[in-house]
């Protein structure tokens, strides 16, 4: 039953009181409802604040994730660049490794060649080397040759060249610088100069082993050349003697050794693996061991000259042409043989009058001095 039905039968005072009570009750309910609304508003505000905080956190998180993604992309890019650089460096290292291997192979080839040259040098005939002027291209480093100097010195006209037996006499004559020569009723003055000679200081020869020639040494010397060459050609042309077809056989007159040239390469190398070969010669009961060595050819690639001062020879200049050559030469020679003129014993003498020229030839007097 609702409130109106209840108060219908009441008097006015009770109705008023009942209404007031109902108003109070509704007021309490309204106040409670207002409190609930306020609580709800408060909760709503708190929730809204939390929602805003969560949104801020979400935004921060999203930004952080985006930053992390950008950083990751940057790191990935840097890593890829480093990988590319590492791959490029690896390719470079591989190429350098290949180059080093090729270089090592070349060095090994050169080492083997040098060992071969050393073996060749130790197996060469025991004979003093003299360079004969022949050269050939495509040489490789090898043997060092010792050359005996022979110097040709040009002399101009109006000059004389005197070689004294004693170095001290030559020094004394040079120290005097100017010399007065008595020629009967007249006198002339000539100048003394040190003699500078250009000589070969170093010579560099590139050598290589000829692939189709051998050098045969330590062979019998008591048989005709033709017979010797025929027998060596016959012996080294046979396959059972490790030989092959022979193109040419040459006797080296200065040494008595023989050079044999084969038609094909490889035969010479095979023969030189064995140092001594037994060869039968006509008129000799037993076979004779002959020495087989690689044949070396070379090319002059560099020469170095140096100036030396002759210790015994003096050059005189400023000589006028005033009498015949033989007479004037006698005067000069007599003058410089006298100790009173600062001279001494003369070993060699030459005079070139004006209008002429000559060449003086010098050899080593003492190898320890040159």
pLDDT at 121: 44
Q: How many helices (H) and strands (E) does the chain have?
A: 6, 11
Q: Are 356 and 157 in contact (CB under 8 A)?
A: yes
Nearest in space to 256 (alpha carbons), one of 220, 286, 287: 220
> 43 forms bridges with which residues in the sheet?
none
Instruction: Return d(Cα 2, Cα 13) in angstroms, integer.
Output: 19
Q: Collapse the DSSP code of 368 into the 3-class scheme (helix H, G, I; strand E, B; otherwise coil) and give the result.
A: coil
Q: Which residue has the higher pLDDT, 4 or 174?
A: 174
Cα–chain center distance at 142: 16
- Residues 284-338 have pLDDT tens digits of 667 889 999 999 887 877 888 888 888 888 998 988 888 888 888 888 888 888 8
Instruction: List, in sequence order, the alpha helices (H) in 287-341.
Output: 325-337
Assess whether pLDDT exceeds 80 at residue 151.
Answer: no
Q: Collapse the DSSP code of 280 into the 3-class scheme (helix H, G, I; strand E, B; otherwise coil) and give the result.
A: coil
Q: How confident is the model at residue 182 (pLDDT cuts 50, 70, 90)?
A: confident
Q: Are 354 and 323 in contact (CB under 8 A)?
A: no
The two three-digit tokens of residue 198, written as one number: 């250009």
Q: How confident is the model at residue 107 (pLDDT cuts 50, 70, 90)?
A: confident
Percent of the chain with pLDDT over 90: 20
pLDDT at 239: 92
Instruction: Return d(Cα 354, Cα 359) in angstroms, integer.
Output: 14
Q: How confident is the model at residue 149 (pLDDT cuts 50, 70, 90)?
A: low
Rounded to whole angstroms, what are the CA distances from 296 to 119, 143, 155?
A: 12, 9, 39
Distant-in-sequence, close-in-space partners of 182: CB < 8 Å, separation ≥ 6: 331, 335
- Residues 18-57 have pLDDT tens digits of 778 878 888 888 888 888 888 888 888 888 888 888 888 8
Nearest in space to 362 (alpha carbons), one of 157, 185, 149, 108: 149
Assess whether pLDDT exceeds 80 at residue 201.
Answer: no
Q: Collapse the DSSP code of 279 into the 3-class scheme (helix H, G, I; strand E, B; otherwise coil) and give the result.
A: strand
Q: How confident is the model at residue 10 (pLDDT cuts 50, 70, 90)?
A: low
Nearest in space to 161 (alpha carbons), one of 320, 308, 315: 315
Assess whether pLDDT exceeds 50 at residue 132.
Answer: no
Instruction: Return d(Cα 39, Cα 47) in angstroms, integer.
Output: 12
Relative to beta strand 159-164, strand 346-352 is antiparallel
Q: Are 170 and 314 in contact (CB under 8 A)?
A: yes
- Residues 346-369 have pLDDT tens digits of 888 888 888 888 888 877 665 444
pLDDT at 259: 94
Angle, alpha carbons 189-192-193 (nearest 5°): 145
Q: Which residue has the higher pLDDT, 132 or 294?
A: 294
- Residues 205-258 have pLDDT tens digits of 788 888 999 999 998 887 888 888 999 999 999 999 999 999 999 998 878 899
Length of the chain: 370
Q: How confident is the model at residue 341 (pLDDT cuts 50, 70, 90)?
A: confident
Q: How confident is the model at residue 283 (pLDDT cuts 50, 70, 90)?
A: low
Q: Which residue has the higher pLDDT, 112 or 61?
A: 61
Q: Are 291 and 272 in contact (CB under 8 A)?
A: no
Instruction: Return d(Cα 54, Cα 45) in angstroms, integer.
Output: 14
Cα–chain center distance at 90: 27
Instruction: Return d(Cα 264, Cα 244) in angstroms, integer.
Output: 8
pLDDT at 146: 53
Encode burial over 183-201: b for 16+ CB neighbours within 10 A, e otherwise.
Answer: eeeeeeebebeebebeeee
DSSP codes joined into one string, 195-231: EEEEEEEEEEEEEEEEEEEEEEES--SSS-HHHHHHH
Q: What is the mean pLDDT of the chain?
A: 81
């Amino acid at each position: 039953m609702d409130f109106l039905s209840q108060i219908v039968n009441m008097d006015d005072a009770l109705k008023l009181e009942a209404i007031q009570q109902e108003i109070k009750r509704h007021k309490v309910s309204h106040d409670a409802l207002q409190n609930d609304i306020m609580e709800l508003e408060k909760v709503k505000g708190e929730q809204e604040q939390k929602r805003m905080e969560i949104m801020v956190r979400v935004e921060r998180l999203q930004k952080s994730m985006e930053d992390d993604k950008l950083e990751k992309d940057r790191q990935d890019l840097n890593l890829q660049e480093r990988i590319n650089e590492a791959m490029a460096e690896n390719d470079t290292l591989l190429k350098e490794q290949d180059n080093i291997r090729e270089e090592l192979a070349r060095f090994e080839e050169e080492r083997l060649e040098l060992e071969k040259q050393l073996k060749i040098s130790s197996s060469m005939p025991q004979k003093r080397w003299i360079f004969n002027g022949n050269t050939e291209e495509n040489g490789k480093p090898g043997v060092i040759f010792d050359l005996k100097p022979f110097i040709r010195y040009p002399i101009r006209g109006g000059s004389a060249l005197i070689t004294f037996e004693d170095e001290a006499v030559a020094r004394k004559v040079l120290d005097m610088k100017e010399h007065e020569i008595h020629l009967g009723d007249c006198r002339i003055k000539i100048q003394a100069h040190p003699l500078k000679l250009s000589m070969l200081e170093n010579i560099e020869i590139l050598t290589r082993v000829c692939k189709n020639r051998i050098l045969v040494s330590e062979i019998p010397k008591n048989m005709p050349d033709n017979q010797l060459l025929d027998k060596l050609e016959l012996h080294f042309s046979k396959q059972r003697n490790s030989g092959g077809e022979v193109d040419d056989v040459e006797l080296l007159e200065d040494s008595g050794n023989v050079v044999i040239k084969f038609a094909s390469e490889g035969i010479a190398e095979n023969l030189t693996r064995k140092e001594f070969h037994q060869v039968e010669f006509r008129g000799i009961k037993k076979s004779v061991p002959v020495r087989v060595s690689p044949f070396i050819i070379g090319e002059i690639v560099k020469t170095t000259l140096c100036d030396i001062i002759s210790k015994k020879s003096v050059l005189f200049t400023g000589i006028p042409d005033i009498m015949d050559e033989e007479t004037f030469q006698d005067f000069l020679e007599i003058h410089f043989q006298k100790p009173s003129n600062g001279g001494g014993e003369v070993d060699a003498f030459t005079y070139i009058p004006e209008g002429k020229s000559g060449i003086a030839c010098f050899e080593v007097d003492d190898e320890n001095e040159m």
